[in-house]
Structure 1
Amino acid sequence: MKTIPTKLWLFIIAVSLLKVIIASSIALGNDEVYYWTYALNLEWNYFDHPPFVGWLIRITTVNLQIHHQLAVRFGAIASSAIGTLIVFKTGKLLLNNRVGWYAVLLYTSSFYCCIIAGTFILPDSPQMVFWLWSIYLLIKITRSINKSLPTLNLWCWFGFATGLCIMCKVHGLFIWFAVLLLALLTNRNFFLQKGLYIAMFISLIMVSPVIIWNLQHHFITYTYHSDRVNFFHSGINLLAFAREIAGEIFYNNPVVFFMAWAGLFGLFRQKNQRIKSEINVLLFCALPLIGTLIFLSVFRDTLPHWSGPAYTCLIFLSAVKLESFPAPKAKFIIIASLGFFLIVIATALPLINFYKGTFSPNKDTMHFGKGDPTLDLYGWKETGKIVDSVYRSEQLSGNTGHTMIITKWFPAAHLDFYVGTQTGLNTYGIGEIYDLHQYYWSNRFKQKLATGENAYYIVPSNLYDEKDLDFAKKHFKNCSAPLILPILRNGSLCKNILIFKLKGYKKQY
Structure 2
Amino acid sequence: MMATPAQPDNGNADVRAVERQQVDSPFFVQTLSRELSASPRRIAVAIVLAFTLVRLVWAYALGFGIDESYTIGQSRFLALSYFDHPPLHYWIAHAASVLFGTGWAIRIPTVLMFSATSWSIFCLTERLFGGVAAVFSVLFLNLSLFFLVSAGAWIVPDGPLMFFLACGAQVMVRIIFPSPGEKEPTIIWWILAGGLFGLAGLAKYSALFTLAGLVFFVIATRHRRQLLTAGPYVACFVGLIAIMPVLIWNVQHDWASLRFQTGRGSPQFAPSAFARMVLGQIVWLGPWIAIPLVQSALHAFRKGRTERELFCVALAVPAIGYTTLQALWSGAGFPHWPMPGWLFVFPLLGARLSGRIRPAIHYAITISLLTLTLLVTAVALGGSGALHRLNVPALHDPTEDLIDWSPVAKVLTPLRVGRPDGPAVAGLDWAEAGKLDFAVGEIAPVLVLGRDKRGFATRSDPRLAGRRGLVIVASEEAWAKKGSGLSCLPEDPLPVARVPVGRAGQAELTLLVIPVEGCIGAAQ
| Match in the other structure for 1:25 | 61
Moved more, 145-154 or 258-267: 145-154
Aligned partners of 2:183 and 2:225: how far apart in 1? Answer: 10
**Aligned ranges 1:119-198 → 2 under 5 Å:** 119-144=153-178, 149-187=184-222, 188-198=224-234
User: What is the CA–CA distance in structure 2 between the aligned matches of 1:507 and 1:312, rounded to whole Å?
Assistant: 44
1:103 positional shift: 1.0
Q: How far does residue 489 in structure 1 lie from its aligned partner after superposition?
A: 4.1
Q: Distance in 1 between matches of 2:496 and 2:277?
A: 39
Q: Report matched runs for 1:465-476 at 5 Å.
A: 465-466=479-480, 468-472=482-486, 474=488
- Give the AA of the match of 1:350: A
Pairwise CA distance, 1:117: 0.7
Cα 1:148–1:373, aligned 2, differ >3 Å: closer, same or farther?
A: same
Post-superposition shift, 1:173?
A: 1.3
| Alignment-mate amino acid for residue 155 of structure 1 | W
CA distance in structure 2 between the aligned counterparts of 1:158 and 1:483, rounded to whole angstroms:
55
Alignment of 1:293-372 (within 5 A): 293-299=323-329, 300-325=331-356, 327-356=357-386, 358=388, 371-372=396-397
The answer (yes or no) to whether the contact 2:274–2:324 under 8 Å persists in 1 is: yes
Return 5+ residue gaps in structure 2 as ranges. 1-38
Does the 8 Å contact 1:36/1:54 carry over to 2? yes
Q: 1:487 aligns with which of 488, 497, 501?
A: 501
Cα deviation, 1:420-468, whole Å, max 9, x if unaligned, reads 44xx343123354xx1111012224x982344x5432112245x15453
The alpha carbon displacement at 1:220 in A equals 1.2
Does residue 248 (structure 1) correspond to residue 261 (structure 2)? The answer is no
CA contact (8 A) 1:47 1:438 kept: yes
**TM-score, length-scaled by structure 1:** 0.86
Question: Would you say how many aligned residue pairs link Structure 1 and Structure 2?
Answer: 478
Which residue in the other structure is 1:366 paired with? none
SS of the equivalent of 2:337 reads helix
SS for the counterpart of 1:228 is coil
The reply to whether residue 384 of structure 1 matches residue 406 of structure 2 is: yes
Do the aligned partners of residues 455 and 371 (structure 1) sit closer, same or farther apart at CA in structure 2, a change above 3 Å counting? farther
Q: Distance in 2 between matches of 1:506 and 1:493?
A: 29
Letter in 1 for 2:465: L
Give the 3 Å change call, closer, same or farther, for CA 420–49 of structure 1 in structure 2.
closer
The 1:492–1:52 alpha-carbon spacing in structure 2 relative to 1, beyond 3 Å, is closer
Asked if the contact 1:61/1:72 (under 8 Å) is kept, the reply is yes
Given the alignment, which residue of 46, 57, 63 partners 2:82? Answer: 46
Of the two, which has the highest radius of gyration? 2
Gaps of 5+ in 1: 364-368
Amino acid at match of 1:216: Q
Counterpart in 2 of 1:418? 439
CA deviations over 1:168-227 (Å, ceiling 9, x no partner): 001111232123212332233132132011111111121122112212212111111111
Which whole-Å CA distance do the structure 2 matches of 1:154 and 1:30 have between them?
39
Cα distance in 2 between the residues matched to 1:491 and 1:66:
26
The CA deviation at 1:88 is 1.3
| Superposition deviation, residue 120 in structure 1 | 0.7
Q: For residue 458 of structure 2, what is the amino acid of its counterpart?
A: W
SS in 2 for 1:242: helix
Normalised TM-score (structure 2): 0.83
Matched, 1:457 2:472: yes
Does structure 2 conserve the Cα–Cα contact (< 8 Å) formed by 1:407 and 1:436?
A: no
The verdict on how the C-alpha distance between 1:357 and 1:425 changes in structure 2, with shifts beyond 3 A counting, is farther
1:262 aligns with 2:288: no
**Identity of counterpart residues, as a percentage?**
22
Tell me the secondary structure at the aligned position of residue 458 of structure 1.
strand
Q: After superposition, what is the alpha-carbon deviation per residue over 1:242-300, rounded to whole angstroms, capped at 9, x for unaligned? A: 2111111111122221111111222355855xxx2222221111011111012112131
Cα gap change, 1:356/1:209 in structure 2, threshold over 3 Å: closer, same or farther?
closer
Aligned 8 A contact 1:48 1:437 in 2: yes
Return the match for 1:373 from 398, 416, 433: 398
In structure 2, the partner of 1:429 is: 448
Task: Give me the whole-angstrom Cα distance separating, in 2, the residues matched to 1:466 and 1:94.
Answer: 57
